[in-house]
Amino acid sequence: MDDTTLPPNIDVPAAPPPDFRAGFVAIIGEPNVGKSTFLNAVLGTKLSIVTNKPQTTRRQVLGFQNGENHQIIFVDTPGLIAPAYALQRSMVESAHRAVGDADALLVLLEAGKALSKHAPFPDFMAAVIDGTTTPAVLAINKMDQLSDKSLVLPMMKSFSDTGRYKAVVPMCALVADNVQAAISELVPLLPLQPPLYPADMLSDQPERFFVTEIIREKIFEQFRQEVPYATEVVIAEYREEDTRDFIAADILVERDSQKRILIGAKGAAIKAIGTAARADIEEFLGRHVYLELHVKVREGWRDNEDWVRRLGYNS
Ligand SMILES: Nc1nc2c(ncn2[C@@H]2O[C@H](COP(=O)(O)OP(=O)(O)OP(=O)(O)O)[C@@H](O)[C@H]2O)c(=O)[nH]1
Ligand SMILES: [Mg+2]
């Protein structure tokens, strides 16, 4: 439609400049390298849960970063591993899908691993990086853990020399150091096109997704070994009331013994999860919350394709 055919007083949005770039960037790397920390640093807000345990992220989380002349849709992915059970298979598939759909990749590697004399990436990860021609930027993260800074330049050069990366960026995602440099390297790799999402959008996931993630984060923080990995959180009821949100969530585990651990002596453990989760949920939602948690056993759900699908994975 020609502008002159518009009725008067219609608010025509300003057209983006012709050099505007927009597209998807998949953040990939082994578990625990700092992918979710990077996304949070970029957004300046805690969107994706972070713990010191590997395999924290299980589903893709989108985060939108808007600049004057660009929109990057970052896709935080589950860490790449050799999967051993149904849930892990779906996690890895989700990371592969993100790579397939991406306009550019941000590959994260820990500084310690980058220096290792062995191959920096395990075979399955190298296969992902080398199995696609999608342009990639390599970020070497956790630079703060590198004591000998004289190793940085030769290390970066060795990765540049492979020819696979458009840029190699040293980074400390924990304190958002050089995060902007990674963005500057990624923008030119995106297609010239107008923004794909409204500028005020932070993520594509609904609030209740973040509520379950925050509860899962507390479980990852408070329990050791297998329990966090055997756990899934689902919302049973969510009601917005006048003065607060009423949220009932089920924590699914695989065995009775895990249920006992999660509940703890006189319910102390589940109470601690609830208290910590509620504080973060209230901060995230900006509203008061009443949080009720129930632990339920779903025998072996993690390696049951049916359960994994019912819980919304593989979708
Ligand atoms: N010292 C240091 N620690 C970092 C840095 N970036 C992230 N971390 C820590 O590394 C741990 C893992 O961070 P995550 O962001 O959860 O890592 P991830 O790659 O998303 O992990 P998965 O979701 O399990 O694949 C957390 O304890 C972070 O605080 C960094 O630059 N320096
Ligand atoms: Mg993560």
Closest ligand 1 atom, residue 55 Cα = 24
**If you average pLDDT over residues 12-41, what whole number do you get?**
91
Are 36 and 185 within one domain?
yes
How many domains is the chain partitioned into structurally?
Answer: 2
The residue whose C-alpha atom lies closest to atom 16 belonging to ligand 1 is 50
Among 161, 189, 217, the domain-final residue is: 189
Our mutation pick for probing the ligand 1 site, out of 42, 47, 50, 109, counting the most ligand atoms within 8 A of Cβ, is 50
Structure confidence at residue 13 (pLDDT):
56
Q: What is the pLDDT of residues 292-303, one digit of tens each?
A: 999 999 999 999
Banded model confidence at residue 312, pLDDT cuts 50, 70, 90: confident
SS3 state at 59: coil
Closest ligand 1 atom, residue 40 Cα = 15
pTM of the model: 0.90
Q: What is the CATH number of the domain that holds 61?
A: 3.40.50.300
Spatial neighbors of 28 by CB under 8 A, at least 6 apart, are 35, 77, 80, 95, 98, 99, 105, 106, 107, 108, 125, 128, 129
Ligand whose nearest atom lies closest to the CA of 52:
1
**If you average pLDDT over residues 221-225, what whole number do you get?**
89
Among 160, 189, 218, the domain-final residue is: 189
* C-alpha 33 to ligand 1 mean position (Å): 5
Banded model confidence at residue 11, pLDDT cuts 50, 70, 90: low
Are 173 and 287 within one domain?
no
Banded model confidence at residue 45, pLDDT cuts 50, 70, 90: confident
Are 40 and 127 within one domain?
yes
Give me the domain span that covers residue 232.
Answer: 207-310
Structure confidence at residue 152 (pLDDT):
87
Banded model confidence at residue 281, pLDDT cuts 50, 70, 90: very high
* C-alpha 76 to ligand 1 mean position (Å): 12
SS3 state at 301: helix
User: What's the CA dihedral at 23, 126, 48, 65 to 10 degrees?
Assistant: -20
Structure confidence at residue 147 (pLDDT):
87
Residue 89 contacts residue 83 (beta carbons within 8 Å): yes
Residue 1 has pLDDT above 70, yes or no: no
Closest ligand 1 atom, residue 173 Cα = 31
Ligand whose nearest atom lies closest to the CA of 79:
1
Pocket of ligand 1 (CB under 6 A): 29, 31-37, 50-52, 54-57, 78-79, 141-142, 144-145, 172-174
Structure confidence at residue 2 (pLDDT):
47
Our mutation pick for probing the ligand 1 site, out of 33, 37, 110, counting the most ligand atoms within 8 A of Cβ, is 37
Q: Please give the share of the chain, as a percent, with pLDDT higher than 70.
A: 95
Average pLDDT of the chain to the nearest whole number = 91
> What is the spatial distance between Cα 169 and Cα 105, in angstroms, rounded to a whole number?
13
Ligand whose nearest atom lies closest to the CA of 139:
1
Q: Please give the share of the chain, as a percent, with pLDDT higher than 90.
A: 70
| Residue 194 vs residues 21, 111, 202: alpha-carbon distances, Å | 7, 36, 17
> What is the spatial distance between Cα 222 and Cα 73, in angstroms, rounded to a whole number?
32
Spatial neighbors of 211 by CB under 8 A, at least 6 apart, are 235, 238, 247, 249, 281, 284, 285
Are 296 and 163 within one domain?
no
Banded model confidence at residue 9, pLDDT cuts 50, 70, 90: low
SS3 percent helix, strand, coil of the chain, rounded to 5, is: 40, 20, 35
Residue 200 included in any domain: no
Structure confidence at residue 226 (pLDDT):
87
Residue 261 has pLDDT above 70, yes or no: yes
Our mutation pick for probing the ligand 1 site, out of 88, 110, 174, 219, counting the most ligand atoms within 8 A of Cβ, is 174
The residue whose C-alpha atom lies closest to atom 2 belonging to ligand 1 is 142
Among 158, 189, 220, the domain-final residue is: 189
Q: What is the pLDDT of residues 127-181, one digit of tens each?
A: 999 999 999 999 999 999 998 888 889 889 999 999 999 999 999 999 999 999 9
Residue 199 included in any domain: no
Residue 166 included in any domain: yes
Our mutation pick for probing the ligand 1 site, out of 27, 30, 32, counting the most ligand atoms within 8 A of Cβ, is 32
Q: What is the pLDDT of residues 95-130, one digit of tens each?
A: 899 999 999 999 999 998 888 777 889 888 899 999
Q: What is the CATH number of the domain that holds 297?
A: 3.30.300.20
Are 135 and 242 within one domain?
no
Residue 30 contacts residue 80 (beta carbons within 8 Å): yes
